[in-house]
Amino acid sequence: MDGNGRWANRRGLTRVEGHKAGEAALLDVVAGAIQAGVKHLSVYAFSTENWSRSPDEVRFLMGFNRDVLHRRRDQLNEWGVRVRWAGRKPRLWGSVIKELQFAEELTRANDVLTLTMCVNYGGRVEIADAVRSIADDVAAGRLKPSAVSEKLIQRRLYLPDMPDVDLFVRSSGEQRTSNFLLWESAYAEFVFLDTLWPDFSRVDLWRAIELYLDRDRRFGGAVDTPTV
């Protein structure tokens, strides 16, 4: 969800107002995902790298994440959205963790769409955390190093049952991954749209889905039908 800061700059507003405008975009995209029949949607709400922003902005983002969850959880619940959290505890405000856990509990039984909020998430850090749990098992003699496999690593990620990413959309024209869902996006189709996040709507999501449907996903295998 890139581009809140730039959107604000262009209008002479503060970054904080940019983030606030991003909230409406998120809800619209969730609604659009439900309409399109998408079952899993993950959003990068706060990265472990965001700690390097100014202390004021970090403080705002922590409070904002907490407030958005608090404000919107009933609406998401009504829509049948199951909210989940992918991320780590260290440094994350207790109040944010509480809201995330409350929302998870409230919406646990929903099955229309699973919305994964990635808060205090980092792609490399997720893998390092998985390794730490594996290392603990090895040190305790519960696991042999030779048993380390891709499947084992998958099971130690924050949300082991989250399916791999099919479509990875980034707003604001940036053409890089920022290691978002690093492991899970190995075969994802990337769609980079120039629209800044606060201007994003369900229509942009649908445009990205259309581009995705046009693509030919081979997963390393052969091209059976000749493509022109």
Partner 1 sequence: MSTISERFFLLQSHLEKNCKSKISKITGYVSFTMRKFLFSVLSIGPIPAHVAFIMDGNRRFAKRHTLLQDSIDPASGHRLGFRSLISTIQYCYEMGMKCVTVYAFSIDNFKRSPQEVQLLMDLMREKIEEMSAEDGVLKSLDVKINFWGNLELLTEPTRLSAKRAMDTTMHNKGPVLSVCVAYTSTDEITHAIEASVRDLKGKDQVEVSDLERNLYSASYAEPDIIIRTSGETRLSNFLLWQSDFTHLQNPKQLWPEFSLRHLVLAVLDYQLVYAYLKKRKEEIEKNK
Q: Does 53 bind partner 1 (CB under 8 A)?
A: yes
CB of 192 to partner 1, least distance (A): 8
Q: Which residues contact residue 80 at a Cβ distance below 8 angstroms, ignoring those fewer than 6 apart?
A: 34, 110, 111, 112, 113
Residue with tokens 């052969």: 222
CB of 180 to partner 1, least distance (A): 9
Amino acid at position 219, single letter: F
Q: Does 221 bind partner 1 (CB under 8 A)?
A: yes
Pick the catalytic residue: 4, 9, 50, 199? 50
Amino acid at position 108, single letter: R
Closest CA to 93 of 54, 55, 66: 66
How far apart, in whole angstroms, are the C-alpha atoms of residue 47 and residue 179? Answer: 10
Identified binder of partner 1 from the candidate list 31, 131, 159, 162, rule CB under 8 A? 131
How far apart, in whole angstroms, are the C-alpha atoms of residue 74 and residue 181? Answer: 27
End-to-end CA distance of the chain: 35
Q: Does 127 bind partner 1 (CB under 8 A)?
A: yes
Q: Of 10-18, 89-97, 100-108, 220-228, which segment contacts partner 1 by CB under 8 A?
A: 220-228
Q: Which is nearer to partner 1, 180 or 200 (CB)?
A: 180
Residues involved in catalysis: 2, 50
Q: Which residues bind partner 1 (CB under 8 A)?
A: 49, 51-53, 123-125, 127-128, 131-132, 134-135, 138-139, 145-146, 148-150, 153, 175-179, 182-183, 185-192, 215, 217, 219-223, 226-228
